[in-house]
Structure 1
């Protein structure tokens, strides 16, 4: 009996010990879960139900001088899902009654509302069926997104992002540039990316076990910041006119490419910078000419030809080495001791021309005879002060030539002569426009520019260019050259151009040979006209250039486009007509 009692007590003790041990294990595990691992487990639990979302900072706009948007950002929506949650559900699917909706029915309705493809959606889901993220359709506009949202599919989610649009399309595509999948690719988008780009923020929301977002669970973890607004000096209406005029003329002339610029004389602001061909930033792939991705007016170098002669004439007068009526005996050709020869574009007997007549007839021989009164260094210095041989200081634009020529000319004897009629030196269309802005502005050069600055989201203006003017030649020298250039229109190389009724025009033509590497100069030409109006008080400078025209290889072919564009400028800005006769000097003696 005693032994039986002892055995019973032993079993009881063993059971009690086992129970106490088991309770101890549970207590220890409970403490471990609720105290020791509480923070990490809570965080792990949160991660399983908290969904991070990027908040995109809106990229800033690019606007013209009147605030018209040239580039803007609009909301677009990507539709995502968690493949592991994709299943049949009860819902209206955009209808009026609740019903059982299969996955196939949901995807079919989603494709119809979004314009997406069912097969593509299924492939995306099947790629990793146990994952929490997959794209179903991308880039929906607001209208299509609202149609998708109205379906009420519980396992789809939105991902909002900004998409770039260009309201003026190809009209200003050469200036704005465009965005690509890797960010800014060209133009002002690229040059001012730091100012335009917004900074992204983030938020999280909690999702229940059924995959539906929990109301009121959204928490912003980082605020997004919008980009700045880039303000340009471009007049988008005039830009459109310039692009249309240029494209029409280039096609008529069968030119390989062409440029046009319009400059406000008193401010140095570029009101239009047109290129042919040009790119539509809304459809970049449609442009096969990679050279059209930017602006040739800013990036393409060429030998300017006779448009440079106005700068040589101004330097001569400024130095007191010549005057509008200075006399020269001008044969058709001229030979030099080193064996070089130059000649005028058309044969003529030896003529008695003044400096005015030399500009009027665009005589290569004549300008070199008088221009040689200046040293090579003097001429080089003046060209540099006019804006040649160095980058455009007030223009930030990708692809501009460095043009770092140093402080002294590195010319051989022939180039020293040829440079006076624009051969053997390189310029851009913008630099030629700068020469004529300087002459039109009483000899004061204002760096040409087409960006005013960038206004940041907090109202500060940054990236404003330095447009301090500098004197290049005296006001008297500039005025005399401007007056002489009126003879080019009234009786010189532009005499065939129909006058612009009521206005005195001062202009110069250029017909430059195109170098073909070691072969020298070939038969191709670059033709141009640069001029200002009204000549007695210039307000605007217009330039046009045509590369390798086939229908007319002379500068006379460029004249109609110059006349049309200048007429549009004078009319648009309501410039008062001239009240005096064109001032002319004797061209011969």
Structure 2
């Protein structure tokens, strides 16, 4: 009996020990789950049901002077799914009757609604069947997005994103630049990316076991912030006119490229900066000329030719070294002690020309004879004050040449002579425009610019350019030079250009030789015209340039485009016509 009781007690003890051991295991596991691994398990559980969504801050618009959008952001939608949730379901699939819907049927309906590719959808789903994310189709507009939503496929999700559009297309593509998959790529988009870029925010929402978003579960974890609006001085209508004008002329001249600028003489604001060919930012891949990705008017350097002579003439008058009626004897050519020589574009007998006649006939020999009354340093200093030899200080644009020439001319004696008729020195089309803006504005240079500033989302204006005016020559010197330039139109190298009815125009032509790789000059030319109107009180400055024209290599070939564009400017802005005929200085003595 005693033995039996002892055996029972033993079995009871063993059972109790086993039970206690089992309970201890459960307790340890429970503590491990609820205490030790609690945070990790909560996080994992949250990740299974809480879905993060990026909320995109819209990129700011680029607008013209009248608020017309040159670049803007629109909402597009990426359609995504969670491959592990892709299965048949019961639904209306855009109809009115609930039915069984297979995966193939659902994907077929999705392709029809979105315009997507069925093969791509299937490949993306099959790539990782247990994942929570895969793209089905990207970049849907509102119409296609609404068609997809109407299908009510439970495992299909729409994610909004911001896309870039350019309403004016290629007309202003050279100015705006464009966006790429890696962000801003060119133009103002690149230069002002910091201000234009929006700041993305985030939201989370919860979904049930069936993958459907739970109503009212969306929580904003970070607010999105839109980018600023970049305000430019460009007039998009005038930009279109300039673009069409030089495109038509360049094709007739069989030129390699062309540029045009229109400047408000009183403010230094660029109203148009046109290039041909140019890029369409809505279809960058369609541009075969890689040089068209930017603006040649801003970034490309060339020898300006005779358009520089107006600056030398103004400097001579400003220093009291010459006057419009000051005469000199001008042979066809000059030879210098160091062995160098120069000559005029066309042979002529020795002439007695005034400074006015030298500009009218565009005499290389004549401008150097009078120009040597200034030292090389003086000529250099004036050119620099006119805006040459350094980047445009008020323009922020990628690819602008450095052109840091220093404080004194680093040229030999021959280049010192040649520089007076625009050979051996480099300029951009904008720098030539700056010379003529200065002359048109009574000798006061205002840095050329085409950005007013960037207005941030909270209304603050930043990135406004510094456009501090600087006097270059006296008002009298500028006025006299403008007066002389009327002779170029009335009886000089532009006398074949049809007059602009009712307006006195002052202008100068330029024919620059193109340097070859061997270091010399070949047969190619860059032809240009720079001018202003009305001459008695200039309001606007227009420049046109054509690189390597084939049907006409004389500057007169650029005249029709100049006349057309200047006429459009005067008409568009309703400029008061000239009150009287131009009073011209004598060209000979």
TM-score (normalised: structure 1): 0.99
- The 3-state SS of whatever aligns with 2:244 is helix
Greater mean deviation of Cα atoms: 2-11 or 225-234: 2-11
Tell me the CA shift for residue 204 of structure 1: 1.4
Matches within 5 A, 1:309-348: 309-348=309-348
Q: CA separation in 1, counterparts of 2:19 and 2:220?
A: 49
1:351-392: CA deviations, max 9, x gaps? 110000000010011000000100000000000000000010
Q: Residue 517 of structure 1 aligns to a residue in which SS?
A: coil
Residue-by-residue CA offset, 1:523-546 (whole Å, 9 max, x unaligned): 111000000000000000000000
Q: Does 1:227 align with 2:241?
A: no
Q: CA shift at 1:208, angstroms?
A: 1.4
C-alpha RMSD of matched pairs (Å): 1.1
Tell me which moved more, 151-160 or 63-72: 151-160
Partner of 2:535: 535
Equivalent-residue separation in structure 2 for 1:262 and 1:268 (angstroms): 10
Matched, 1:559 2:559: yes
Establish whether residue 291 from structure 1 lines up as the match of residue 305 from structure 2. Answer: no
Q: What is the DSSP-based 3-state SS (H/G/I as helix, E as strand, rest coil) of the residue aligned with 2:464?
A: coil
The residue number in structure 2 matching 1:370 is 370
Secondary structure at the aligned position of 1:484 is classed as helix
Alignment of 1:209-224 (within 5 A): 209-224=209-224
Match of 1:451 in 2: 451
- Counterpart in 1 of 2:471? 471
Q: Give distance in 1, aligned partners of 2:392 and 2:356.
A: 30
The equivalent of 1:494 in structure 2 is 494
For the residues of structure 2 that align with 1:459 and 1:316, how far apart are their CA atoms? 48
Residues 34-183 of structure 1 aligned to structure 2 (within 5 Å): 34-183=34-183
In the TM superposition, residue 63 of structure 1 has moved relative to its aligned partner by 0.4
1:234-273 aligned at under 5 Å gives the runs 234-273=234-273
Partner of 1:303: 303
Within-5 A mapping of 1:14-25: 14-25=14-25
Q: Aligned partners of 2:413, 2:29: CA distance in 1, in Å?
A: 96
- Unaligned residue ranges in structure 2 (runs of 5+): none
**Structure 2: how far apart are the matches of 1:538 and 1:86?**
71
1:585 is matched with 585
Post-superposition CA distance 1:70-106 (Å, at most 9, x none): 0000001111111111111111111111111111111
Instruction: Find the aligned partners of 1:3 and 1:329 in 2 and give their Cα distance.
Output: 148
Shift, 1:37, TM fit: 3.2
1:499-510 pair list within 5 angstroms: 499-510=499-510
Cα deviation code 1:420-459 (max 9, x no counterpart): 0000000000000000000000000000000000011111
1:382-408 superposed Cα distances (whole Å, 9 cap, x missing partner): 000000000100000000100000011
- SS at 2:423 equivalent: coil
* Pairing of 1:502-521 with structure 2 (within 5 A): 502-521=502-521
Q: CA deviation at 1:31?
A: 3.7
Gaps of 5+ in 1: none
Q: Which range moved further: 115-124 or 1-10?
A: 1-10
Aligned length: 589
Which digits, 9 at most, give the CA deviation of each residue in 1:255-275, with x for residues without a partner? Answer: 000000000011000000000
